[in-house]
């Protein structure tokens, strides 16, 4: 009986571990402006204006420089803002 309980507990723990190991569905910390983040149009602008920034600092930098961004990046940012 104890063996069954131990095996059941081990199976439950293994299943829970696998569930927590799944990839998160949130955007990358760089504000989605990294490769694969859906904001490829902003990659060059991010490098040009905010290369030394990451995460929230990069988002703030892009917002500060929004008037200088390329038309493609402005459009991508507008589309992203509309989708949230």
Using CA atoms, how far apart are residues 39 and 61, in angstroms rounded to an integer?
A: 15
pLDDT for position 21: 54
Q: pLDDT per residue over 13-70, tens digit each?
A: 655 555 555 544 444 444 444 444 557 999 999 999 999 999 999 999 999 999 999 9
Enumerate residues 6+ apart whose C-beta is below 8 A from 68: 45, 49
Nearest to 28 by CA among 38, 43, 18: 38
Residue 71 binned pLDDT confidence (cut-offs 50, 70, 90): very high
């Amino acid at each position: 009986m104890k063996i069954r309980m131990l095996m059941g507990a081990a199976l439950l723990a293994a299943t829970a571990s696998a569930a927590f190991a799944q990839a998160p569905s949130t955007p990358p910390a760089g504000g989605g402006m990294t490769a694969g983040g859906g904001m490829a149009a902003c990659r060059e602008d991010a490098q040009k204006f905010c290369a030394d920034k990451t995460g929230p600092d990069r988002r703030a930098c892009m917002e500060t420089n929004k008037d200088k961004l390329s038309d493609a990046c402005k459009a991508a940012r507008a589309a992203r803002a509309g989708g949230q």
